[in-house]
Homo-oligomer: A and B are copies of this chain.
Amino acid sequence: MKFGFILDMLKFFKVIKRSSKSKARLGLINTAHGQIKTPAFVPVATKGTIKSLTPSQVNEIGLQTAFVNTYHLVTHPGITLIEKAGGIHKFSRLNLPLMSDSGGFQVFSLAKSKRNPQGSTKRADVRGEEKPLLVKISENSVLFRSVYDGRLIEFTPEKSIEYQKKIGADIIMAFDECTDYPATYEYAKKAMERTHKWLKRCIIKKQTIDDRRSKIDIPQNLTSTINPLSSKNQQALYGVIQGGTYRDLRRKSAEFVTSQALDGIAIGGVSVGESKKEMREQVRWVSDFLPVDKPVHLLGVGQIDDIIDLVKYGLDTFDCVEPTRLARMGTIYKISNFNPQARGPISKTEELDITKSIFKEKLEPLDINCRCYTCRNFSKAYLHHLFKQKEILAYSLATFHNLYVMERFFAEIRALIEENKL
């Protein structure tokens, strides 16, 4: 009994409670850098910083985890430096469970994008990201020059795993090809098949590195006998379901990916496309295939009004730039009338655009019910003043608030599952 309890403690993922009304579940992800209570929101720390927040503020908000982008870190400051620093946790002082993506999303979007058919010009795309200078793209690899120092950088399935191993996030992703929206059936199928082939190579590569490390690094191996989570060997690998907007491809991909020896499952390339309905559909198609004993992550999607539905499909974690990006634009979250009993998404999420002149003289807090640092201290008028004056403090106060709201929102969701109300 006691031994079973310890084993449970050491398990990467543990389901604590399942809803009887939906696939929603309460879980616990164990990592070397702490636990993640699921469902959980995963804010982005693209380049090794949750934009505008210190790690102290990250702790104060109570963030459980964050998401770093391999492509960005490879480009700047470079993998060698991060490895030399002892991994991304030590480098950034984000001392919490971290996830990294494979880089596939960025390196492929630059080649496949219709907005950039040659893929050879340095330019900013719609997300404001600088595109690297593409050198060569083949079935197997993407080669480009860094926009910062002209270095040649190569991404292959194996390279992606190597990079992520060195970055050292607690949860890493297999290299996938993310289809643009819209994509033809033929292309989506081809991309999916490539993703599956690559998944196998990623699993092998990760195993090879882990085995080599175990052999060389005896003390680390010893440590991991005692606590399997305290070693880098214990990075969890997720495979990524692709298949674009096509039901049969999504289901086929789900079937394949979930059959592999993986620690978790991610759903990638889910496109909001024409409507949110479409996005939910793409998730719903695969939801029957999702494993009951492995955590499921949704890549890059997770607007506040989608979350409840997605949790009901059995999804556990969600990374999304929205709360932080919108905060820096002055868009402030406010959840009023939170009503999960109602059909569909939560009945109302409000967003304030604090830069609007109607807030110029409003001396009440952003949200009278919010207990975050920003709301406990500052008025709408002060935030408005800071935003209009482009004061740096505006961005951190708004980011603090939006992420605090997201954390409370997910805590609320977990409470509802606990009470079997979802």
Contact = CB atoms under 8 A, between A and B. Distances in A.
Interface of A: 47-49, 51-57, 76-77, 81, 84-85, 91-93, 148, 360-361, 363, 373, 377-379, 381-382, 384-386, 388-389, 391-393, 395-397
A214 B373 CA distance: 36
A46 to B, nearest CB: 9
Copies in the complex: 2
B54 A385 contact: no
Contacts of A56: 373
10 contacts: A47-B391, A49-B393, A51-B392, A52-B393, A54-B57, A54-B396, A76-B388, A77-B384, A81-B381, A85-B382
A74 to B, nearest CB: 13
A101 to B, nearest CB: 18
A382 to B, nearest CB: 6
Contacts of A363: 84-85
B396 A55 contact: no
A382 B91 contact: yes
A55 to B, nearest CB: 7
A77 B373 contact: no
A363 to B, nearest CB: 6
A56 B400 CA distance: 13
B396 A360 contact: no
A361 B48 CA distance: 16
A54 B393 contact: yes
Chain B CB within 10 Å — which of A51, A84, A384, A393 has the most? A393
Given A84-B363, A361-B84, A381-B85, A388 B148 contact: yes
Nearest to A77: B385
Given A51-B391, A77-B360, 17 more contacts: A47-B391, A48-B385, A51-B393, A53-B393, A54-B393, A54-B396, A54-B397, A76-B385, A76-B389, A77-B381, A84-B363, A85-B379, A85-B381, A85-B382, A91-B381, A93-B377, A392-B395
Nearest to A395: B392
B148 A382 contact: no
Contacts of A77: 360, 381, 384-385, 388
B377 A55 contact: yes
A396 B52 CA distance: 8
A81 B47 contact: no
